[in-house]
Chains A and B, each alone.
Chain A
Amino acid sequence: DAGVIQSPRHEVTEMGQEVTLRCKPISGHNSLFWYRQTMMRGLELLIYFNNNVPIDDSGMPEDRFSAKMPNASFSTLKIQPSEPRDSAVYFCASTPEPVGAFSYEQYFGPGTRLTVT
Chain B
Amino acid sequence: DQQVKQNSPSLSVQEGRISILNCDYTNSMFDYFLWYKKYPAEGPTFLISISSIKDKNEDGRFTVFLNKSAKHLSLHIVPSQPGDSAVYFCAAMGRSSGDKLTFGTGTRLAVRP
Q: Which residues of A contact B (CB under 8 A)?
A: 4, 33, 35, 39-45, 48, 56, 91, 93, 99-100, 102-111
Contact = CB atoms under 8 A, between A and B. Distances in A.
A45 B100 contact: yes
B105 A42 contact: yes
B89 A91 contact: no
Contacts of A104: 32, 34, 49, 93, 99, 101
Interface in B80-113: 89, 91, 93, 95, 98-106
B46 A48 contact: no
Nearest to B44: A108
B49 A91 contact: no
Contacts of B104: 42
B41 interface: yes
B43 interface: yes
A41 B42 contact: no
7 contacts: A42-B2, A99-B99, A104-B34, A104-B99, A105-B49, A109-B43, A110-B41
A41 B105 contact: yes
Contacts of B2: 41-42
A56 B101 CA distance: 12
Contacts of A93: 43
B104 to A, nearest CB: 6
Given A40-B105, A105-B49, A100 B99 contact: yes
Contacts of B6: 42
